[in-house]
């Protein structure tokens, strides 16, 4: 039954090709089932919102808009709880003859926004949630934001020539040149 709640009727859109008809809807996140990765999840009591338009183009229906969803997770460095909101730009095509992975189905003059929003939100969840961009972790000594000396070009420059003699990659080049 949950899928029914994400259906959008489009008979009126079909009757007026080329006209953008607003589609503004809000769904309880639980309607979509669990949406999450090992890094972040959409809380089931949150809401996923769609603010967009539908337009008939030829035989297809084009959905353009923005979806927003809350997420929660743990900071990758200090493991403190982190929450946020993602915004996803949508440009999706619905077709009577959908192509797997490219277009979505039209069924009886309605489209199902559920799988579209589910996938779009899932793919946009942060892979590396941070409580702050410069979070130093629970122990700054263990998780320095910058490895000491890593960006000092003068370090070790004399001891480590960039292309030591005998490097097989250069040998191959020599063969090419003097063949
Ligand atoms: Zn943190």
Give the pLDDT mean for 138-163.
53
Give the pLDDT mean for 138-149.
59
CA of 42 from ligand 1 middle (Å) equals 19
Q: Which comes out higher in pLDDT, residue 79 or 157?
A: 79
**Residue 155 confidence (pLDDT):** 46
**Residue 145 confidence (pLDDT):** 56
Give the pLDDT mean for 11-23.
96
CA of 129 from ligand 1 middle (Å) equals 8
Q: Which comes out higher in pLDDT, residue 83 or 136?
A: 83
Give the pLDDT mean for 62-72.
98
CA of 39 from ligand 1 middle (Å) equals 13
CA of 30 from ligand 1 middle (Å) equals 28
Q: Among 69-78, 127-136, 157-166, which is the least confidently predicted range?
A: 157-166
- Rounded Cα distance between 125 and 15, Å, is 36
With cut-offs at 50, 70 and 90, classify the pLDDT of residue 172: low
CA of 144 from ligand 1 middle (Å) equals 12
CA of 40 from ligand 1 middle (Å) equals 14
Whole-model pTM over 0.85:
no
With cut-offs at 50, 70 and 90, classify the pLDDT of residue 137: confident
Name 82's bridge partners.
73
Give the pLDDT mean for 18-22.
97
157 pLDDT above the threshold of 90: no
CB 143 within 8 A of CB 136: yes
**Residue 1 confidence (pLDDT):** 45
CA of 52 from ligand 1 middle (Å) equals 34
Q: Which comes out higher in pLDDT, residue 155 or 136?
A: 136
DSSP codes joined into one string, 80-99: -EEEEEEEEEEEEEEESS--
């Amino acid at each position: 039954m949950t899928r029914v709640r994400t259906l959008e009727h489009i008979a009126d859109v079909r009757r007026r090709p080329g006209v953008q008809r607003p589609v503004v809807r809000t769904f309880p996140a639980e309607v979509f089932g669990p949406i999450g990765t090992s890094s972040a999840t959409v809380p089931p009591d949150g809401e996923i919102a769609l603010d967009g338009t539908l337009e008939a183009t030829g035989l297809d229906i084009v959905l353009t808009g923005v979806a927003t969803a809350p997420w929660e997770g743990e900071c990758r460095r200090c493991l403190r709880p982190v929450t946020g909101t993602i915004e996803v730009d949508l440009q999706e095509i619905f077709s009577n003859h959908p192509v797997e992975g490219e277009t979505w189905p039209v069924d009886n003059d309605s489209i199902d926004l559920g799988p579209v929003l589910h996938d779009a939100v899932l793919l946009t969840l942060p892979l590396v949630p941070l409580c702050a961009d410069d979070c130093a972790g629970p122990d700054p000594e263990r998780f320095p934001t910058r490895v000491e000396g890593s960006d000092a070009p003068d370090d070790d420059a004399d001891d480590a020539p960039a292309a030591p003699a005998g490097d097989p990659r250069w040998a191959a080049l020599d063969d090419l040149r003097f063949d």
